[in-house]
Amino acid sequence: MRILITGGAGFIGSHAAQLLSEEGADLVILDNLVTGRRKDVRQGPFVEGNIDDVSLVRSILRQHGITSVLHLAASANVAESMLRPDAYFANNVVRTLRLIEAMLAEGVYRLVFASSCAIYGNAPSAHEGKSESPLSPYGESKLQTERALPWFERANGLRWAALRYFNVAGASNGLGEEASSSVRIIPRAVHTALGTDSPLQVYGADFPTADGSAVRDYVHVADVARANLEALRFVENCEAGEVINIGSGVGVSVLQIIRTVSEQSGRPVPYQVGPARPVDPACVVSDIAKAQRLLGWRPVESTLANIVASVIRSCETRTLF
């Protein structure tokens, strides 16, 4: 496979690139480095640029003989999207359409699109095609893009898969997030335990859950990388595009995370409870039967203990504070 990875310098993209390279794929990484990090690009030629630069993308596809695109580039902060919906629809919808325009112009018809569980809103058991109800512009932007893909399939023969990632976390092979700047709860909790005196902000303690804190489905980034690999194989020969959940299938509460980080780090995680935000559902947990059936994929590294341990190791070895 010859693959263009958009957003390949990012958290998920760098892990995906490493696995795909190990599997023998030829890669080109495209990233504008707004949130990605050049130092995490270890495979393939790197091009700094935007996905809506049609001339640039067409040139990359043509020069490198690209056969598939793994599209990970996106704005992905739910809270920020409530303040800047215009930016989220522009980046996540309009620019993705420009990327597809470039693909079709160069005869590249295979796309794996990084979608999101934010599409589901408040769905205790999130099943593809049954419970889409976004609570944020971010979730809506992903859903709008998903809805466009079958039309490109019908009109142009696009082969596609949209992977609805749940809460991606963890680290592996020397790659990981900057815990001090992450918006994700697990690296923030680790940072609070190991690197700062400021308390962790917990949004909401009166949700209808077992301990009152919000429940989410956390999936290890290494498992997500494998899902991307299997999805790229899937679109090689699929008869129709598919939307597929990628999660652990297990719900974990915010307070469970705090306890686990404290236990594994040997340090307390001071936290401060504030009001729940309108964008925060009480509980969202994936149904992953479709991923198992279509991709032959299941999570193998996505226990909470393993995710937390990997983040702590990453922070300690890479000095991420």
Domain ranges for the chain = 2-168+218-246, 172-217+249-283+301-318
On whether the CB atoms of residues 246 and 218 are closer than 8 A, the answer is no
pLDDT (average), residues 55-82: 97
Beta-carbon-side half-sphere exposure of residue 11 (alpha carbons within 13 Å): 24
Neighbours of 244 (CB within 10 A): 24
Query: Distance between CA atoms of 289 and 308, rounded to whole angstroms?
Result: 25
% of residues, the chain, pLDDT over 90: 86
The pair phi, psi for residue 138, each rounded to 5°, is -60, -50
Q: What is the pLDDT of residue 198?
A: 86
Question: What's residue 249's pLDDT?
Answer: 96
Question: Candidates 3.40.50.2300, 3.30.70.3270, 3.40.50.720, 3.40.50.1370; correct CATH number of 2-168+218-246?
Answer: 3.40.50.720
Cβ pair 204, 280 in contact under 8 A? yes
Measured over the CA atoms of residue 142, residue 249, residue 191 and residue 14, the dihedral's sign is negative
Q: Which amino acid is at 162?
A: A
Sheet of 46-48: strand order equals 46-48, 26-31, 2-6, 68-71, 110-116, 159-165, 242-246
Domains 2-168+218-246 and 172-217+249-283+301-318 share a fold: no
The pairing of strands 26-31 and 46-48 is parallel
Q: How far apart are CA 243 and CA 163, in angstroms?
A: 6
Q: Which of 192, 212, 179, 185 is nearest to 282 (CA)?
A: 212
pLDDT tens sequence across 95-124: 999 999 999 999 999 999 999 999 998 876
- pLDDT tier for residue 18 given thresholds of 50, 70 and 90: very high
Contact predicate 212/271, CB 8 Å: no
Look up the CATH superfamily of 172-217+249-283+301-318.
UDP-galactose 4-epimerase, domain 1 (3.90.25.10)
Q: Is the pLDDT of residue 20 over 90?
A: yes
The CA R_g of the chain, rounded to the nearest whole Å, is: 19
Contact, 16 vs 225, CB < 8 A? yes
The string of pLDDT tens digits covering residues 135-145 is: 999 999 999 99
Q: Is 138 a catalytic residue?
A: yes
pLDDT at 321: 36
The three-point CA angle 260-176-140 to 5° equals 85
Residue labelled with tokens 């690296």 = 187
Across the chain, mean pLDDT equals 94
CB 111 within 8 A of CB 51: no
Tens-place pLDDT, residues 185-206: 999 999 999 877 689 999 999 9
Closest to 227 (Cα-Cα) out of 242, 215, 216, 240: 242
Q: Could you write out the DSSP letters of every residue in 261-318?
A: HHHHHTS---EEEEPPPTT--SB--B--HHHHHHH----SS--HHHHHHHHHHHHHHH
| Whole-number Cα distances in Å, 70 to 40, 47, 55 | 17, 15, 18
Q: Is the pLDDT of residue 256 over 80?
A: yes
Specify whether the CB–CB gap between 85 and 137 falls below 8 A: yes
Q: Exposed (0-12), middle (13-18) or buried (19+): which is 295, by Cβ within 10 Å?
A: buried
Q: 88, 109, 138, 218: which is the annotated catalytic residue?
A: 138
